[in-house]
Amino acid sequence: MTNSPRQAAAIRRVLVGLSSADMPTAMLDLATQLAHAFHAEVAGLFVEEDMLFHLSGYPAAQVLRRGGRPEVLERGRIDAELAAQARAWRRALSACAERSHVSWSFESRRGDALTILRGSARADDVLLIGGTASTITLRARIALAVEALGAARAALVMPERIRRQRGQVVAFSDGEADDRAVDLAARIARAMGESLLILTREHSHDSEARGERARILELASEDPESIAMLLRRLEPRLVVAQSGGPVFADVGTAAALMHAAGAPLLLLRSGV
């Protein structure tokens, strides 16, 4: 499987959007593994979301502490807790990056999370999208990922919970000779030490050549329910697909398939 200099230079940074929302810490491991695969930097961007400060302006606003005890949501408490969360994310990112031997950076910014993430994405980025106050649902995160692909090279959508730490990388192929999704998936699988499974709509000589380093499974149908059943059975660690492909073009369908897989979804900008 070939990796041209152009492909190797396509991704230079894995940008991780961090916030106060609950997110699996395993996503930092995945982010640094991707950075290692692409010889890229991993950059953490912690967003102090405006929505939280707006809530503190309401007299009745409360937060539930451990044990179910309500407390008034005060501006000073929000500032202190966000600062503590930013420090915790910075330490965690530093530790993950050092384990993976990749360069890293970290910054905190205040504002609307979606606006900041969209505006920070670059053409050579993989943008990792976890939970924010505005992207609580999986469908909202995928919608943001699709929108971010107008600027970023790829977007990695995280589920609410990562079901497994090991498993094969599954790549959807469109059957074309120059299939960037498969090439990128192969690099990621090697960096993770996982096997690669290519799901393709049509068998070709190029698929046979790729099969020297990966297993190939020809899809009997593009019916979303059939593919969802297959993904449940495969239990992948990561799913890689083109955003404009026939399977993941619809946000609702993509969310259902990602839920079935129980794994992060790396969406690539079509035609790049």
For residues 228 and 203, give the distance between their C-alpha atoms in angstroms, rounded to a whole number. 21
For residues 201 and 95, give the distance between their C-alpha atoms in angstroms, rounded to a whole number. 41
Q: pTM higher than 0.85 for the full model? A: no
- In this predicted structure, the answer to whether residue 204 has a pLDDT above a threshold of 60 is no
In which residue are the tokens 């790729």 written?
A: 210
How sure is the predictor about 2, in pLDDT bands with cuts at 50, 70 and 90? Answer: very low
Contact 122, 152 (CB under 8 A): yes
Q: Which residue has the higher pLDDT, 143 or 245?
A: 143
- In this predicted structure, the answer to whether residue 59 has a pLDDT above a threshold of 60 is no
For residues 240 and 188, give the distance between their C-alpha atoms in angstroms, rounded to a whole number. 10
Q: Which of 139-143, 212-216, 234-238 has the highest average model confidence (pLDDT)?
A: 234-238
Domains 13-157 and 169-268 share a fold: yes
C-alpha distance across the termini of the chain, in Å: 18
pLDDT at 248: 87
Place domain 13-157 in its CATH homologous superfamily: HUPs (3.40.50.620)
Residue 73 CB neighbours (<10 A):
18
pLDDT at 118: 85
How sure is the predictor about 9, in pLDDT bands with cuts at 50, 70 and 90? Answer: very low
| Mean pLDDT over the full length of the chain | 81
- In this predicted structure, the answer to whether residue 62 has a pLDDT above a threshold of 70 is no
DSSP state letters, the chain:
----HHHHTS--EEEEEE-SS---THHHHHHHHHHHHTT-EEEEEEEEEHHHHHHTTSTT-EEE-TTS-EEE--HHHHHHHHHHHHHHHHHHHHHHHHHHT--EEEEEEEE-HHHHHHHH--TTEEEEE---TT--SHHHHHHHHHHHTTTSSEEEEPPSS---S---EEEEE-S-SS-HHHHHHHHHHHHHT--EEEEESS--HHHHHHTTTSEEEE-S---HHHHHHHHHHH--SEEEEETTSTTTSSHHHHHHHHHHHTS-EEEE-TT-
pLDDT at 138: 86
- In this predicted structure, the answer to whether residue 20 has a pLDDT above a threshold of 80 is no
Q: Which of 112-121, 200-209, 256-265 has the highest average model confidence (pLDDT)?
A: 256-265
pLDDT at 48: 85
Contact 127, 15 (CB under 8 A): yes
CATH architecture, domain defined by 169-268 = 3-Layer(aba) Sandwich (3.40)
pLDDT at 46: 92
For residues 61 and 71, give the distance between their C-alpha atoms in angstroms, rounded to a whole number. 9
Among residues 272, 271, 263, 33, which one has the least CA distance to residue 171? Answer: 263
How sure is the predictor about 55, in pLDDT bands with cuts at 50, 70 and 90? Answer: low
Contact 202, 217 (CB under 8 A): no
- In this predicted structure, the answer to whether residue 174 has a pLDDT above a threshold of 70 is yes
Q: Which of 83-87, 198-202, 245-249 has the highest average model confidence (pLDDT)?
A: 83-87
Phi-psi region of 180 (alpha: psi -120 to 50; beta: other; left: phi over 0): alpha
pLDDT at 156: 94
Percent of the chain with pLDDT over 90: 43
- For 235-245, letters b (16+ CB in 10 Å) and e give ebbbbbbbbeb
Residue 150 CB neighbours (<10 A):
9
Lowest mean pLDDT among 60-69, 94-103, 125-134, 168-177: 60-69
Long-range contacts of 214-218 (CB under 8 A, 24+ apart): 214/1, 214/182, 214/186, 214/189
For the chain, domain boundaries: 13-157, 169-268
pLDDT at 90: 94
